[in-house]
Structure 1
Amino acid sequence: MSLVHLITHPEVAIDPAIPVPDWGLSERGRVRALAMPRQSWARRLRLVASSAERKARETAAILAAPLGLEVVVDAGLGENDRSATGFLPGPEFEATADLFFAHPEASIRGWERAVDAQARMVAAVGRVLGLAETPGDIAIVAHGAVGALLLCHLAGQPISRAADQPGEGGGNVFTFGRQDRALRQGWRRIEAAS
C-alpha cells in the first residue's frame, strides 16, 4: 500500500522586513530537514511535491536530492494567505490563528478564510496525487495551518486548531493512504518518523 507523507517545513529564519513566503530555513531547520532522507519512510518515496514558498521548497529539495528526485511545485499547497497582516509577533499571531480556526467561514483580519484554504489544499493534494504515475510513496512539503486543515478533511472532522501540528517551529509529518486517503499516523517530528 502506497502512502502520502504531509510534511511541514521546520524552523525558519524570521525576518519581519521580508515577506513571509520568502523566508528560508534557519540553521536549525536545515539540520532537522537533513535528518529526513535517512529515515526509512523517505527511502520509499517516488515523488516529492512542495508549496511554492521558499521554506517549503528548501525542505523539499533537501529531501529529494539524495533520492535523485525532482521537486514538483504546486502553489496551491501554500500556507493560508496572511498577506493582509504580514508578519505578526508571536502572541498576536497565535491569537489571530486561534480565531482563524475557530471561525473558518470568516476572514480574520483579512486572512484567507479557513474553508477556502482547506478547499485549495485538498484540490492541490489531489493534483499531486494525480501526477504520480508509478506506485510508491509521496511526500508533500507544505505548512502547519493548511496541514491541519487537510488533516481535518481526511478525518472527516470540522475545522479545529486541535488538529494543528505539535510544538513550535514546524518540522512535523502525518501519513495517509494514497488510494483510500485514510489517516495512517498522526503528527510526529520529522526526526522520529518511521
Structure 2
Amino acid sequence: MFLTHAEPVVDPRTPIESWGLAAVGVARAGAWRAPTDRVVTSTEQKAVDTARLVAGPEPVVPIALDERLVEIDRSATGYLPFDEFDAVVDAFFARPTVSVRGWERAVDAQERIVDAVRAHAATGDVTIVSHGAVGALLLASLSGAPISRALEQPGMGSVLTFDAVRWRTTDAWRRLPLPPEHV
C-alpha cells in the first residue's frame, strides 16, 4: 500500500523537506490507520508526521525511514509560487528524460521509487508513506503506462493499493476522507 502525505503547512521560508502537516492534514491522517504490519516512510517531515499518525498513537505498528522514498529532488529551485511550480511540474512530467530547471529527472525518480517500493514490499505487508509526484511515477510503472501527470493523486493524503508480486495496481487512487468535523 502506498500512501501520500497529507496536507502540509506551506512556508516559503522553510526548506520544503522540513514542512510539517497543516491542521487539516493532521485531521485527515489521524482519522486513518495503516492496515498493515509496518510503516516505512520518506524522511521528509510531512511524510514522517503522516506515518506517525497512521501508525497509531502507541504506535501500533513499527515505523522505519527510507531516504529513497523522498519526493522528486527540486532543491535547484526550492520553493516556487504555485503557478510557477505548477508549470514546472507540467514540464517535469512532459519531458521525463530531461532535468527541468535542475530538478531530478522523472525517469531517475521513477527508478528510485520503484526500487524502494519493490524492496519494502518484498519483505511483507507494508504501508509506504511518500509523496504525490513519485506516487504518479510508481503508478506509471505498476500500470505499464508512460510517465504522465494524469496519473497524479486526487489530493494529498491519497492511497494506492497494489499487488507487489504481479506488480500491478489493485485499485485506483483513493483519497483518505476527512473526519466529519472537518468537512
In which range does the TM-score fall when normalised by the shorter chain?
A: over 0.9
Q: Tell me which residue corresponds to 2:9.
A: 13
RCO (CA 8 Å, sep 6+): is it higher in 1 or 2? 1
d(CA) in 2 for partners of 1:51 and 1:90?
23
User: Take 1:164 and 1:17, find their aligned partners in 2: how far apart are those partners?
Assistant: 26
Q: Which residue of 1 aligns with 2:28?
A: 32
Which residue is equivalent to 1:187? 173
- Alignment of 1:115 onto 2:107: yes
2:98 maps to which residue?
Answer: 106
For 1:127 and 1:181, locate their aligned partners in 2 and report how far apart those are by CA, in whole Å: 12
5+ residue gaps, structure 1, are none
| Unaligned ranges ≥5, structure 2 | 179-183
Distance in 2 between residues matched to 1:56 and 1:128, nearest whole Å: 16
Q: Compute the TM-score of the two structures, normalised by the length of structure 2.
A: 0.92
Residue in 2 that maps onto 1:68: 60
Separation in structure 1 between the aligned mates of residue 52 and residue 122 of structure 2, nearest angstrom: 21
**CA deviation after TM superposition for structure 1 residue 159, in Å:** 0.4
Provide Cα deviations, 1:94-150, integer angstroms capped at 9, x if missing partner.
000000000000000000000000000011112212343xxxx32110000000000
1:165 aligned residue (153, 159, 181)? 153
1:81 maps to which of 73, 77, 80: 73
CA–CA separation in structure 2 for the residues paired with 1:130 and 1:138: 9
1:177 CA drift (Å): 1.2
Structure 1 vs Structure 2 CA RMSD? 1.3
